Amino acid sequence: MNHLKKLLVPFTLIAILSSAAAQDESVKNRLSLGFEPRYGFVIPHHDYMGYFVNEHADGFQLNVGLNTTGTKVWHKSYNYPQIGIGFLRSGLGNDEIYGNMNVLYFYVDRKYLSLSNRLNIGNRIAFGPAYMSKQFDLKSNRNNIAIGSPINVFVQYDLTGYYQLTPKTTIRLAVGFMHASNGSTHEPNKGFNLITSGIGIQHSLTPHSSIIRSAPASLTDTNRANLSIAGIMGWKDISRFKEYLFPVYGITLEYSQRVSNTGWLGIVLSGYADQSIEEEFKLDSDTTFTSSDRFSAALNLSYEMRMGRLSFLFQPGFYLHHSFSPYGKVVNKLMLRYCMYNKLLVSMAIKSHWVAKADFIEFGIGYRLNADNLLKRRRIHE
């Protein structure tokens, strides 16, 4: 059973639909189309990958976006970003061994300067499922020890520059980082890291500045502090010679405070029960395994960017306790989260060791509480 394929695609579609819904302007007036050739290279973060990378990673991106109109507070806070879906096709440095990558992604394009400026700067965040045309196979493709599954998670971050040719047409320049891996749902899972650049064109059916409306006078959500608890689960494969998915269970407790209209800063305490650790000890440890070695705890800082019900979260941290030393002390998460009915949370995250060594794809469901009373009590005691 390919858990990643079944759970990732519906979650991505929920994010797209939720962000695009409930706008005052018609979809036609907000529609924007983009095409962008991409040129870059694979970063061979392992020596044996570098040996097989023999060409550039060229490709293209197609985007269908919706310009936001200012009818939500977060539209103005992020300077009226464009949200949408896109398709990427890219080489991976060796067509015979690594094949190519095909991605369907959700993206947010943000400009930092006034939309009336002819020259502008900004960034893009994109997230979605990636299909790899070639994977590791003991018989037919044993040299591909970078990726072991056809379906993977894709993340993109671009720094962008814009030059407005006409009120509707803009040249977009980009340089950025792409990552694709399966979160250890199938070994091998070294993943691909790419540095790419592009020069493309965006065309809006209606000038963006002409559809902007006045933002609401105040925030719908006036909470200043939140307390969230969530149960999490994932699966991981630890050996390319054994096709077996070990379950991982966990629980997280998160406290966060509003630092801007859309930004929340917090701290997260997580506990995990990892059923793969016993096998990890057999493969790569000189010490004896005990049942308590399955359990670990981590502490992460959290910065949340809220866009209505949808949030991007960046959570760098470290292990408070972990018995399997090769994992190291650093643990990071990149998360996409959606809030249902104001309090129910569903999420998907990439949990990784060190900077970008994926551990597993983490799915969560939780509940968010208003913690303003806790904040008031703390101030009274101070």
pLDDT digits (tens, 9 = 90+) for 164-180: 999 999 999 999 999 99
* Between 265 and 148, the higher pLDDT residue: 265
With contact defined as beta carbons under 8 Å apart, do 233 and 249 qualify?
yes
For the segment 220-233, the average pLDDT, to the nearest whole number, is 89
pLDDT(12) > 90: no
Q: How many Cα atoms within 13 Å fall on the side-chain side of residue 340?
A: 10
Residue 285 confidence (pLDDT): 65
Residues in Cβ contact with 17 at an 8 Å cutoff, skipping those fewer than 6 apart: none
Give residue 24's pLDDT band: very low, low, confident or very high (50, 70, 90). Answer: very low
Percent of the chain with pLDDT over 90: 53
Q: What confidence tens digit (pLDDT) does each residue in 180-209 have?
A: 988 777 777 778 889 999 999 999 999 998
The CA radius of gyration of the chain, in Å to the nearest whole number, is: 22
- Report strand pairing: 151-164 vs 119-132: antiparallel
* Between 335 and 237, the higher pLDDT residue: 335
Give residue 72's pLDDT band: very low, low, confident or very high (50, 70, 90). Answer: confident
For the chain, list the domains and their CATH numbers.
Answer: 3-211 (2.40.160.20), 225-381 (2.40.160)
Give residue 280's pLDDT band: very low, low, confident or very high (50, 70, 90). Answer: confident
Q: What confidence tens digit (pLDDT) does each residue in 113-123 have?
A: 999 899 999 99
Q: How much is the mean pLDDT over the chain? A: 85
